[in-house]
Chain A
Amino acid sequence: MYKAEVRGELIHGNKTYRQITHEILRPFEADRPPRWWYVGIFIGVSMTLVGLWSMYMLVTTGIGIWGLNNNVGWGWDIINFVWWIGIGHAGTAFSIFLLILRQRWRTSINRAAEAMTVFAVLCAGLFPMLHMGRVWDAFFILPYPNSRGPLWVNFNSPLFWDVVAISTYLMASGSFWYMGMIPDFAAIRERTTSKFKKAVYNILSFGWVGTARGWLRFETAALLLGGLTAPLVVSVHSIVSMDFATSVMPGWHTTIFPPYFVIGAIFSGFGMVLTLMIIVRKVFKYEDFVTQGHLDAIARILTFISLIMGTAYLTELFIAWYGGTEYEMFTFMKNRITGDYTFAFWAMITCNAIIPQLFWFKKIRKNLTIVFIMSIIINIGMWFERYVIVVTSLSKDFLPATWAAYHPTIYDKAFFIGTLGIFLLGLLIFFRFIPMMAISELKGILKETSIKKDKDHGTK
């Protein structure tokens, strides 16, 4: 039941168990972090401050400072919300889909991908919260007994589904992430010589000792949590898509939305994982753990998902014509392919459906500089996809008299920069204080996946 076939060598360099512990923990055991870390923290804090300024202005002035108008009621806030949630899907897709599919190459990537998920979902959550306008009343969205009737929240509203889905997602991915770290914290606890660190990691490790029964329960619990969280990947973004699809706006009111959003989310998430892993492996010299083979596998998945994205775009266009609704036809053929937002539409097509097709070539998959650039292009493309969906449909709907153009203001942009800063800060803190790869899982695959040469104990 627990066995899994593996592909090739997943950990290079004929490592021993001790070497794995040592190499993964090396960045923490350095007395002080490298200089780039401080530079990164500085940039992250500056960006966060920009965002905080924007949030402060928003809360004290009102939603009017954003570029929204009567017609375009959703702008950068919802675009960025969907974008961040999409990025967040990678962690779950990586750690959980691949766990259930018993793809063991996930082991050196899942921890970082899950970290990404948690921070991305945190960033995403900020947008709808502040979009409520009176953020101090945000708790009204929770179904609690109140003095207003008690008038309960609307359980049939996609906006409430969002609240439920995202908080569940944050809780589930956060706890899955933390649970995986417990054995690694125990390893740090036993290794560290600093009294302070020992005390901190003693608390964090929950007193884990690694008995056989403990491992049995641990692994069973991880599989169960994985199995439970996997449907969330599908449901969270389906629910996000229903924010759009349950309305009657042309371009939104389509049944393709849930699968299209889920695939898009996994696409951007995998893109972000690729960006992150290329940086991590370079900066921390983890080339032995995140091998070319790992990056190659992600690139192949991206090629495949990119094809699905392309198909989805074409399907939307086809249905707009085949459905025979003039409004749909207008939205897709006039307002997206041509018109005011034509740049965004073609940027989306190029970045998501065309450029990733370059991954068909082995040479390109092997050249990490190009792969890195392409992973960033994918995320830009996915941002444009959300822009196209949100803005084009709203700005020109059924009545030409109500048409309006949308232009983001400085506050929209500052808020987005702020969330990028929060994400960056989160990742830097993660790099410094949490093992970037699941040490115990790496050890678990070592024997089966690396070509052994040590014959020291040939008892078997």
Chain B
Amino acid sequence: MEQNNIIGIYDDPDVLVAAARKLKENDVRIKNVFSPFPIHELWEILGMKTRLPLLTFIYGTTGFIAIYAFLYWTSVVNYPLKFGGKPLNSLSFIIIMFVGTIFVAVLLTLLTFFIRQKIGPGKNVVMIDPRTVDDKFAIVIEKKADFTDADVKRITDLLKESGAVEITEKPLPENYIEEEND
């Protein structure tokens, strides 16, 4: 990838949040933020949302219905066993449906997370800055082709003012680019 990025390194989450807010006020688009732990305020500032809860609900509902269909088919249609005057379509199916729903929903939610996040065993990554898994926080701003030197300077100044301890410019490996929004 050709594109260059301006990277501001911070060492405090509160400073980082303030910086992100300030950049946003100045209409600078933040491409990505790297942090060693989740920072909740950032999601609001960057306007990030996730539809995972909705998907999980759909998975759970589907699982619930599918498991009931399976139980009904096996016990009533495929091989009905009549004994003791007991109903074939039994109320106690609810137990397996309950547990099975959880099984399906957990598994699919997890898979969705891995697929959406595009992570999995064997994926090789080069960190933008290895310290961001330890004690540093990085704000990444894309340096677009039409940026003038003045633009770059303005952004760098903003980063500096907001308390960045280091400012660098580097290209990002391709697998860092995440969808704009999902």
Q: Are B124 and A152 in contact (CB under 8 A)?
A: no
- Tell me the smallest distance from the CB of A458 to a CB of chain B, in Å: 9
Q: Can you pick out 10 interface pairs between chain A and chain B where the beta carbons lie within 8 Å of each other?
A: A16-B135, A18-B134, A150-B78, A171-B103, A190-B127, A190-B134, A206-B120, A232-B99, A447-B14, A457-B163
> B122 within 8 Å of A by Cβ?
yes
Sample of 6 further A-B pairs with CB below 8 A, known A143-B74, A164-B96, A202-B124? A212-B42, A217-B52, A224-B53, A457-B15, A459-B12, A459-B15
> Could you tell me which A residues sit within 8 Å of B by CB distance?
2-3, 16-18, 21, 143, 149-152, 155-156, 160-161, 164-165, 167-168, 171-172, 175-176, 179, 182-183, 186-187, 189-191, 202-204, 206-221, 224-225, 228-229, 231-232, 235, 239, 439-441, 443-444, 447, 456-457, 459-460
For A183, list chain B residues within 8 Å (CB): 36-37, 133
Contacts of B95 in A (CB 8 A): 161, 235, 239
Stretch of B1-9, B105-113, B145-153 on the interface side:
B105-113
Q: Which of A151, A171, A213 has the most CB of B within 10 A?
A: A213
Contacts of B114 in A (CB 8 A): 206
Determine the chain A residues whose CB is within 8 A of the CB of B175 once the complex forms. Answer: 207
**B14 partner, pick from A189, A231, A460, beta carbons under 8 A:** A460
Q: How far, in angstroms, from A211 to B34 measured CA to CA in the complex?
A: 4
**B98 and A217 form a contact (CB under 8 A):** no
B33 in contact (CB, < 8 A): yes
Pair B96/A161 contact, Cβ less than 8 Å: yes
- Whether B96 pairs with A155 at a CB distance below 8 angstroms is yes
Query: Is B156 an interface residue when CB atoms closer than 8 A count as contact?
Result: no
List the interface of chain B (C-beta within 8 A of A).
Answer: 11-15, 18, 32-40, 42-43, 46, 48, 50, 52-53, 56, 60, 70-71, 74-75, 78-79, 86, 90, 92-93, 95-96, 98-100, 102-103, 105-107, 109-110, 113-114, 116-117, 119-125, 127-128, 130-135, 162-163, 175-176, 178
A10 to chain B, nearest CB (A): 14
State whether A447 and B13 are in contact (beta carbons under 8 Å apart), knowing that A175-B110, A228-B102 are contacts in the complex: yes
Whether the pair A168, B133 counts as a contact (CB closer than 8 A) is no
CB closest residue in chain B, given A172: B106
Residues of chain A lying within 8 A (CB to CB) of residue B110: 175, 179, 221, 225
Evaluate contact between A171 and B125: CB separation under 8 angstroms.
no
In Å, the complex CA distance between A142 and B89 comes to 20
Whether B37 contacts A212 by the Cβ 8 Å rule is no
Interface centre among B12, B38, B106 (most CB of A within 10 A): B38
In the bound complex, CA of A172 to CA of B38 (Å): 23
Q: A17-B134, A190-B127 are in contact. Are A171 and B106 (CB under 8 A)?
A: yes
Which of A143, A171, A217, A225 has most chain B Cβ within 10 Å? Answer: A217
Residues of B within 8 A of A164 (CB): 96, 99-100, 103
